[in-house]
Chain A
Amino acid sequence: MKEDSSKNGRRKFLKNLGVTVGAAGVVSSFSLLGAAKAAAKEPAEMVNLLTQDGQLVQVDKNQLRPTVTAPLNELQKRGREGIPGKSFVMVIDLSKCRNARKCMAACQNHHQLRPDQHHINVLQMQDAEYTAPYFMPKPCQHCDNPPCTKVCPVDATFKRQDGIVLIDNERCIGCRFCIAACPYSARIFQWTEPKDAEKYKDLTYNIEANVPQKKGTVSKCLFSADRLRVNKLPSCVSSCPNGVYYFGDRNEDAVTNGTTHETVRFSKLIEENAGYTLMPELGTKPRVYYLPPKNRAFKFNGDLLNEENLH
């Protein structure tokens, strides 16, 4: 007797659950259209569903299909393809960096990161014992021969035709192989619920900004691919107060400074200032170029977290 009632209870619960999930499904992810189209082969369990105009209808449970939320797919499709004909590059002029960290703040704001998570990070460098120290902003290098994409077992991280390396956090399984493979330590892992997870939970996933961020997936610099689509410079580039960043299209041989908005020839800028890439010996072919910290605009003042720099 006792057993019986518990069975009933379970069935009741399941039934209720089915109805609730189903009802919610109409609004979010189940298509009535699919149900209407398909002919029922054998009468199966019917569920009550609430339509968008508030009517209660009965639908064969077997005929319910999840709808594809179109915007998501469209975003991911175009995000995977990239912008045709472009080849984006960044030039970072180390002689102008004074560790103002405005780039980091703008980036964290754009990509919903906490202050301790970095897509771009300003590092204090000193190459050898007797060499001069300097500040170096370091984003993902968007390598043309990226080790990170080689190791991903599920095709979650990939390179697109305009040269940008992205991550699809709907595919990422959080194995962190790519973090281990990246020689530039450009990637971070979302160990905990991301910042403002509750606030952004209903937002459609935008692969080109990697927002909303997702717990248990990897994130990294994306060259603000969503902004590039509307011909805007990346967040970090436009927020630098000291003219450190140039960004542009290598196919056009032009880069634009985010602070002064001056556009210059990419090849000339690199040639005249002896531009270089990080760890060229690895053959990763980075797309981020550095101009050496010569003729500096500011005196190097030692401490990375020197308050005086942070305004």
Chain B
Amino acid sequence: MKNIYQLLTCLILILSLSNFTVQAEDWGVPSSAKKKHNPYDANVKNISSGKKIFNINCKTCHGDPGKGNMIHLVPISPTDIGSQDFLVQTDGEIYYKINKGNGAMPTFEKTLNDEHKWMVITYLRSFDKSNRRSEKLAEVKNPEVTDVKLDLEIQDSSKYILAHLTGMTKKGKRVGLHGIEMSFLVKRNFGYLDISREDAYTDDNGKVETVFPYDLPGDREGHVDLLVKLTDDAFYGNLEKSQIVSLGVPTIPVNPLDERAMWGTRANAPIWIMVSYIGGVFVIWGVIFFVLFQMIKIPRLAQNKE
């Protein structure tokens, strides 16, 4: 009898577990979708923009590719999408899954455009060990340099911000480093606002510029905290430069408590309400006292008559 119970529990357990795996595997990717190919090149630019999109949209659940630091969910945690187990799939399969979503995985059909989805796939493929396409990586050719420096030039009138990335060659000459992506960030209360233009890569002289948004508020004097840094630290490490610039729109914060309002506490109530309230109290008590005095007078009147 006991054996039968054990057997039953085992059976139920196995069944329920297999049910979960079915749930996890049940993407039903049609074979036509599997055949789709990534139309974009696996070059450095695409990989790095794929990484950006990945970090914003996918990283919170899946973690960093290949690191296994995804969040843990019950019954199934998200896959490490940098692992070989995942990357055996065709581009088309991954594309389909991003589009459709399943269970806790959202659909990105409408939230990401096609280009962005393929960029993410390009980025993921760069982790694929069996993939030839990722070998094209060494594409940016800059001379070997030391003492890499990042300089900023700000033009207050036109709101231009120019970043200049240079390094010292072995011959002791300072040269611009080209093809490096730069992020222009403005500090806000809870994070950094990205104001870089599209494809903010340094040109042959190592320069890249961006225009500060004409309507972005700064503090009272228009000061904002600007941070310029290399988007990808794979090339020259984590190089960044921050500076306070006065490119923002001077903004004087409005204090809602400066005005008297109906919703204000006692001290902040509108004058008319205080006057009419206090007036009302005086009038009512006045009437009451008046009546009382009249009533006191009645017996006196009676006495006088007598």
Please list the residues of chain A having a beta carbon within 8 angstroms of any beta carbon in chain B: 84-87, 95-96, 98, 143-147, 149-150, 152, 155, 158-161, 163, 231, 233, 241-243, 247-249, 251-256, 259-265, 295-299, 308, 311
The minimal Cβ–Cβ distance linking A266 to chain B, given in whole angstroms, is 10
Q: Let me know if B241 is at the binding interface, CB within 8 A.
A: no
Query: Which residues on the A side are within 8 Å of B103 (C-beta)?
Result: 308
Chain A residue, CB-CB nearest to B224: A252
Besides A145-B261, A252-B188, A254-B190, 8 new A-B residue pairs in contact (Cβ under 8 A), listed by A number = A96-B106, A159-B256, A243-B60, A252-B189, A253-B215, A259-B60, A297-B101, A299-B107
Q: How far is the CB of A215 from chain B (nearest CB, A)?
A: 24
**Could you list some 12 contacts between A and B, CB below 8 A?**
A159-B263, A252-B188, A254-B193, A256-B189, A256-B190, A256-B191, A260-B56, A260-B57, A263-B192, A265-B216, A297-B106, A311-B75
Which chain A residues border B188 with CB–CB below 8 Å? 248-249, 252, 254, 256, 263
Within 8 Å CB of A85, what residues of B?
219, 253
Cross-chain contact of A242 among B74, B106, B110, B191 (Cβ < 8 A)? B106
Expressed in whole angstroms, the minimum distance between the Cβ of B277 and any Cβ of chain A is 12
**The one of A98, A150, A249 that contacts B263, using a Cβ cutoff of 8 Å:** A150
For B254, give the chain A residue with the smallest CB separation. A87
Q: How far is A86 from B101 in the complex, measured between Cα atoms in Å?
A: 38
Is B255 interfacial (CB 8 A cutoff)?
Answer: yes
Q: Please, how many angstroms separate the alpha-carbon atoms of A256 and B59 in the complex?
A: 16
Bound complex: CA A251 to CA B73 (Å) = 37
Interface string of B248-282 (1 = CB under 8 A from A): 00010111110001111110000000000000000
**What is the minimal beta-carbon distance from A257 to any residue of chain B, in angstroms?**
8
Q: Which residues of A contact B251 (CB under 8 A)?
A: 251
In whole angstroms, how far apart are the Cα atoms of A32 and B266 in the complex? 35
Q: How far is the CA of A9 from the CA of B59 in the complex (A)?
A: 74
Do B263 and A248 have beta carbons less than 8 Å apart? no
8 Å CB contact of B110 from A160, A241, A259, A295: A295
B interface: dominant SS: loop
Q: Is the CB of B189 within 8 A of A311?
A: no
Q: Which residues of A contact B192 (CB under 8 A)?
A: 263
Q: Determine whether B71 belongs to the interface, using a CB cutoff of 8 Å to chain A.
A: yes
C-alpha gap A42/B265 in the complex (Å): 43
Question: B168 at the A/B interface (Cβ < 8 Å)?
Answer: no
Q: Distance (Å) between the CB of A95 and the closest chain B CB?
A: 8
Size of the B side of the interface (Cβ < 8 Å), in residues, is: 43
Most chain A CB within 10 A, of B55, B60, B110, B213, is at: B60
Among B59, B107, B265, max chain A CB count under 10 A is at B265
B263 to A147, Cβ gap below 8 A?
A: yes
Tell whether, in the assembled complex, residue B189 and residue A248 are in contact, meaning their CB atoms are under 8 Å apart.
yes
B66 contacts chain A at the CB level, 8 A cutoff: no
Assembly CA distance A98 to B106 (angstroms)? 9
Per the bound structure, the CA–CA distance linking A14 and B247 in Å amounts to: 72
Q: Which residue of A lies closest to B266 (CB)?
A: A155
**B194 to A263, Cβ gap below 8 A?**
yes
For A262, the closest partner residue in chain B by CB is B56
Distance of A162 Cα from B213 Cα, bound (Å): 25
A85–B250 Cα distance when bound, in Å, is 13
Residues of B with C-beta under 8 A to A263: 188, 190-194
Bound state CA distance, A256 and B193, in angstroms?
A: 9
Interface centre among A86, A143, A146, A251 (most CB of B within 10 A): A251
| Nearest CB in chain B: distance from A217 CB, A | 17
B131 touches A (CB below 8 Å) = no
- State in angstroms the CA–CA spacing of A179 and B139 once bound together: 65
* A-B CB proximity, top 4 nearest: A297-B106, A295-B110, A254-B188, A256-B190
A283 CB → nearest B CB, Å: 11
Q: Which of B73, B217, B262 contacts A150 (CB 8 A)?
A: B262
A231, B73: Cβ atoms closer than 8 Å: no
Residues of B within 8 A of A261 (CB): 191
Which of A160, A251, A256 sits near B217, CB closer than 8 Å? A251
Specify which chain B residues have a CB less than 8 angstroms from the CB of A311 in the assembled complex. 73-75, 104
Q: Is the CB of A163 within 8 A of B256?
A: yes
CA distance A308 to B73 in the complex (A): 11
Determine if A84 and B253 form an interchain contact, defined as CB atoms under 8 angstroms apart. yes
- Provide the residues of chain A in CB contact with B256, threshold 8 Å: 144, 159, 161, 163
Residue among A150, A241, A299 making CB contact with B60, cutoff 8 Å? A241
CA distance A32 to B204 in the complex (A): 77
Q: Which residues of B contact A149 (CB under 8 A)?
A: 263-265
The reply to whether B216 and A253 contact each other, CB–CB distance below 8 Å, is: yes
**B111 sits at the interface (CB 8 A):** yes
B160 to chain A, nearest CB (A): 20
Among B216-254, those with CB < 8 Å from A are: 216-217, 219, 251, 253-254
Decide: A295 and B111 in contact? CB cutoff 8 A.
Answer: yes
Min CB–CB distance A277 → chain B (angstroms): 17
Residue of A nearest to B103 (CB): A308
User: Is B61 positioned at the interface, with any CB of A under 8 Å from its CB?
Assistant: yes
- CB closest residue in chain A, given B195: A265
Residues in B whose Cβ lies below 8 Å from that of A247? 190
